[in-house]
Amino acid sequence: MPLNILLADDDSDDRYFFEKALKEINIPTTLKMVVNGERLMDYLTKNTSALPDILFLDLNMPRKNGSECLTEIKQNEKLKHIPVILCSTSLGNDFATALFKTGAHYYLHKCDFSELKICIQKILLMLAKNPMQPSRDEFMLSMQEA
């Protein structure tokens, strides 16, 4: 069974490279994409019978940012089990701790394409072994760890 992945990202280039990376790794997946936080929450509430296995969530989006979406997801009984991986170009340590406490599984620093493939594959394999939230020390992923 392929993993059902949902990507919420307002940047068309980031969506393109994410989709390309998924196609190049050796893990069966299906991908749905939304372009902002409002559409993400609308998609999740309208598709409760076909929720994603994993959500990759851009932190900086218009209309509703990733932090706001994460809070809503983790407060919703029907959605809170979905592993959420936050993606951004930068994240301060205090803010990362707050996102971790809210329930995010991992933080993925947006990187170049070859790094992206490695990081996505690592995340999918880790979640396949253990879908529970890891410790705070394992929250922020870097290429040195992948």
Burial of residue 28, with CB atoms counted within 10 A of its CB: 0-12 exposed, 13-18 middle, 19 or more buried: exposed
Mean pLDDT, residues 95-111 = 89
- Say if residue 145's pLDDT is above 80: no
CA–CA separation, 39 and 26 (whole Å): 29
What pLDDT, on the 0 to 100 scale, is given for residue 146?
43
pLDDT-based confidence at 142, cuts 50/70/90?
low
Q: What separation, in Å, do the N-terminal and C-terminal C-alpha atoms of the chain show?
A: 25
Beta bridge partners of 82: none
Delimit the domains of the chain by residue range.
3-141
CA–CA separation, 86 and 105 (whole Å): 8
CATH architecture assigned to 3-141: 3-Layer(aba) Sandwich (3.40)
The percent of residues in the chain predicted with pLDDT above 90, rounded, is: 69
Mean pLDDT, residues 87-109 = 86
Q: Dump pLDDT digits (tens) for 43-54.
A: 999 999 999 999
